[in-house]
Chain A
């Protein structure tokens, strides 16, 4: 495995607090893990005897499974802590949950929660390493890492490359974390979406576009489509899904242009076909969606490998 010249951290909560060197280290570490998947035995003994607890307050089969596979391949014992996802879980109960977790003496906690800042709160009160698997609108750092790893596979040199993020910039933790990691890797970041979903408070490094024509004229190298959250339509952030598709979706016509210029396509999944993306784009050879899923396991292994619970800190 990669040399440990970068000091371990206890928690992975967001992208903002990671240095460029730490990000590069994580991306470099994920490489050999991915190679491991080509072998018949896909497991390494790194975390043997360690326990990983997944704690998902929002339903997410994909991310949780990805973490579970990653932990299994590092030989850790994985437990899924069943929490009620039906009702809104209030913050108050979290502190009580932390007490329970602390008593279980788990080494790693993977948490997803609907409220921003909950992983940070848990991290403050537990000795275990906390991995944020998505909190509210705030952050989704392992998604950002897998996205960066995927971009690096097609562009080993990311300096000055351009990524255009399309969709709900206001509510998306993916937009926040992925834009920031790309920025840290020297890329230029453009955003495109309905005026009601691209907020004034966005960071200065985001170049905002309001239509596809201007956005494509900016010459992006990668187009990153965000999932349309169906409930936003009910809140009237845009008039209808049909209008969203027509104005902000990757339509057949726009896809032809994307294909013609050989641009790469990414999406955090799961996709709404016919809303943010047309069917035919899914089979485009430069559509990186499946690669993103595979890379998710490798980068999450890298994260688990790098983090050290408080009791293991030298």
Chain B
């Protein structure tokens, strides 16, 4: 066999531009895509991968991930997190800086990158904090973190309550061409809330978080970005009001991007049922009408990015009363298959949405080259078999935690291999 020459034969190639899949063979040589064409002849000595019935899609990129290292290695490590990513067809991660300690200086950021270089089979980018210790008071060491390659700044998980602090951060970060990724929540309104405010929260006697808590903060933060000219990215949208506000500002020409997590498209507050803490996340799961609005905005292109908000927690922590249990749902192992099962297979949107929003756009936002399946490009794609199924057992999932509603569920479709630079990171 000729080393490094692999022909993916008979599959259908997905692109970000069209929902139509194209029946093309893909020849990989020396880590690059050498040829893409229908019915390619098999080069002598090449390894042939039978892709009949399968979809070849550019590998995904997740710009919102909590790897918990350093500090909470009982929940997740960079090693397990990156393996969960590969398991889910993701070959690039941006890690959130809300670790212990928080990543708020160039030195700390470098220490995470050093771990990643040793432990991860995929490239890792580490985001930096906006403020020291995520306290919302003093600016973090922004220039130092930029110097170590921070793709964005975020106080992830917390909004910056003081508008003046945020305004200064925007003005400062702008000169380093750093995007600010913001979690939008008006703390005074969300208070001790643990789920969406409404009839379900009333029935369960759990303090609620109203949708306006998100929308008011989004509106404030976009106005500040408009005023300062900063690059702003709104994280994990959850409400119809929130996405409507972003749309309104986008139509007015303001430079703002946003993301949605699969769980905010798939689940509602109703599924909390009798205190199922697997559905406890912040921002909270809201109503079917909110899911519908988010889904429509995603299909129409108002939402730029899909990101998992992968937030691992131990079984012990989640096995607590609803108010005390931590917020968060894991997502790296499950994102592609769950979105395929619920939306692509059912025709709600095509593979183009998945490729554009979970592969190409997040890379562009983080100033990383997209990886379309094109001649001359990097061989960085996944092979997806719609005719197989995935059983999300604890054993299957590579994340150290399995706090996801998909635990022990079987969904249609399976990622059968993940290729990066000519090497199989995964081959089932």
State the CA gap A135–B323 with chains docked (Å): 12
Given the known interface contacts A121-B275, A201-B197, the answer about A115 and B321 at a Cβ–Cβ threshold of 8 Å is yes
**Once the chains bind, are A115 and B324 in contact (CB under 8 Å)?**
yes
- B198 in the interface (beta carbon within 8 A): yes
Taking CB atoms, residues of chain B closer than 8 Å to A16 are 203
Q: Which one of B197, B205, B320 contacts A138 once the chains associate, using CB atoms below 8 Å?
A: B205
Taking CB atoms, residues of chain B closer than 8 Å to A39 are none
8 Å CB interface, A258-273 against B: none
Taking CB atoms, residues of chain A closer than 8 Å to B38 are none
B137 to chain A, nearest CB (A): 26
Given the known interface contacts A116-B206, A135-B205, A138-B205, the answer about A201 and B320 at a Cβ–Cβ threshold of 8 Å is no
8 Å CB interface, B189-233 against A: 197-208
**Once the chains bind, are A202 and B320 in contact (CB under 8 Å)?**
no
- A127 in the interface (beta carbon within 8 A): no
- A76 in the interface (beta carbon within 8 A): no
State the CA gap A113–B200 with chains docked (Å): 20
Given the known interface contacts A121-B275, A121-B320, A201-B198, the answer about A116 and B325 at a Cβ–Cβ threshold of 8 Å is no
- A91 in the interface (beta carbon within 8 A): yes
Q: Which one of A95, A173, A202, A203 contacts B205 once the chains associate, using CB atoms below 8 Å?
A: A173
Q: Which one of A95, A116, A139, A173 contacts B319 once the chains associate, using CB atoms below 8 Å?
A: A95
**Once the chains bind, are A116 and B316 in contact (CB under 8 Å)?**
no
Residue of A nearest to B276 (CB): A117
Residue of A nearest to B323 (CB): A115
Taking CB atoms, residues of chain A closer than 8 Å to B114 are none
**Once the chains bind, are B320 and A94 in contact (CB under 8 Å)?**
yes
Taking CB atoms, residues of chain B closer than 8 Å to A117 are 204-206, 274-275, 321-323
Residue of B nearest to A201 (CB): B202
Q: Which one of A118, A137, A202 contacts B321 once the chains associate, using CB atoms below 8 Å?
A: A118
B202 to chain A, nearest CB (A): 4
- A120 in the interface (beta carbon within 8 A): yes
Count of inter-chain pairs, beta carbons less than 8 A = 73
Residue of A nearest to B206 (CB): A116
**Once the chains bind, are B320 and A91 in contact (CB under 8 Å)?**
yes
Taking CB atoms, residues of chain A closer than 8 Å to B206 are 116-117, 136-138
State the CA gap A292–B102 with chains docked (Å): 55
Given the known interface contacts A117-B274, A120-B274, A120-B275, the answer about A91 and B321 at a Cβ–Cβ threshold of 8 Å is yes
Q: Which one of B199, B319, B324 contacts A203 once the chains associate, using CB atoms below 8 Å?
A: B199
A55 to chain B, nearest CB (A): 14
A81 to chain B, nearest CB (A): 18
Given the known interface contacts A92-B317, A201-B198, A203-B199, the answer about A138 and B324 at a Cβ–Cβ threshold of 8 Å is no
Interface 1/0 per residue, A16-39 and B, CB below 8 Å: 100000000000000000000000
Given the known interface contacts A95-B319, A120-B275, A121-B275, the answer about A199 and B324 at a Cβ–Cβ threshold of 8 Å is no
State the CA gap A91–B322 with chains docked (Å): 9
8 Å CB interface, A104-136 against B: 113, 115-118, 120-121, 135-136
**Once the chains bind, are A176 and B203 in contact (CB under 8 Å)?**
yes
State the CA gap A173–B274 with chains docked (Å): 16
Interface 1/0 per residue, B282-322 and A, CB below 8 Å: 00000000000000000000000000000000001101111
Q: Which one of B198, B201, B203, B321 contacts A94 once the chains associate, using CB atoms below 8 Å?
A: B321
Given the known interface contacts A201-B197, A201-B198, the answer about A91 and B325 at a Cβ–Cβ threshold of 8 Å is yes
Given the known interface contacts A117-B275, A120-B275, the answer about A91 and B324 at a Cβ–Cβ threshold of 8 Å is yes
State the CA gap A85–B157 with chains docked (Å): 31
**Once the chains bind, are A116 and B323 in contact (CB under 8 Å)?**
yes
**Once the chains bind, are B320 and A92 in contact (CB under 8 Å)?**
yes
State the CA gap A94–B319 with chains docked (Å): 10
B325 to chain A, nearest CB (A): 7
Taking CB atoms, residues of chain A closer than 8 Å to B274 are 117, 120
8 Å CB interface, A233-276 against B: none
Residue of B nearest to A138 (CB): B205
State the CA gap A200–B199 with chains docked (Å): 8
Residue of B nearest to A125 (CB): B319
State the CA gap A137–B319 with chains docked (Å): 20
Interface 1/0 per residue, A126-159 and B, CB below 8 Å: 0000000001111100000000000000000000
8 Å CB interface, A185-235 against B: 199-203
State the CA gap A139–B319 with chains docked (Å): 21
State the CA gap A90–B275 with chains docked (Å): 16
Taking CB atoms, residues of chain B closer than 8 Å to A137 are 205-207
Q: Which one of A95, A113, A136 contacts B320 once the chains associate, using CB atoms below 8 Å?
A: A95
**Once the chains bind, are A203 and B202 in contact (CB under 8 Å)?**
yes
A13 to chain B, nearest CB (A): 8
**Once the chains bind, are A95 and B316 in contact (CB under 8 Å)?**
yes
Residue of A nearest to B325 (CB): A91
Most chain B C-beta atoms within 10 Å of own C-beta, residue among A121, A135, A139: A121
**Once the chains bind, are A92 and B316 in contact (CB under 8 Å)?**
yes
**Once the chains bind, are B199 and A201 in contact (CB under 8 Å)?**
yes
Taking CB atoms, residues of chain B closer than 8 Å to A138 are 204-206
**Once the chains bind, are A136 and B319 in contact (CB under 8 Å)?**
no
Taking CB atoms, residues of chain A closer than 8 Å to B199 are 201-203
Taking CB atoms, residues of chain B closer than 8 Å to A113 are 321
Interface 1/0 per residue, A70-92 and B, CB below 8 Å: 00000000000000000000111
Residue of B nearest to A171 (CB): B205
Residue of A nearest to B194 (CB): A116
State the CA gap A16–B197 with chains docked (Å): 19
Taking CB atoms, residues of chain A closer than 8 Å to B321 are 91, 94, 113, 115-118, 121
State the CA gap A118–B321 with chains docked (Å): 5
Taking CB atoms, residues of chain A closer than 8 Å to B316 are 92, 95
Question: Could you name 19 residue pairs across A and B whose Cβ atoms are closer than 8 Å?
Answer: A91-B321, A94-B320, A95-B316, A95-B319, A116-B206, A116-B321, A116-B322, A118-B321, A121-B275, A121-B320, A136-B206, A137-B207, A176-B203, A199-B197, A201-B198, A201-B199, A201-B200, A203-B199, A203-B203
- Lowest 6 CB-CB distances: which A-B pairs, in order? A91-B324, A138-B205, A137-B205, A201-B202, A91-B320, A116-B205
A-binding residues in B (CB < 8 A): 197-208, 274-275, 316-317, 319-325
* 13 extra interface residue pairs, beta carbon distance < 8 Å, beyond A95-B319, A176-B202: A91-B324, A91-B325, A92-B316, A94-B320, A94-B321, A116-B275, A117-B275, A117-B321, A120-B274, A121-B275, A135-B205, A136-B323, A202-B202
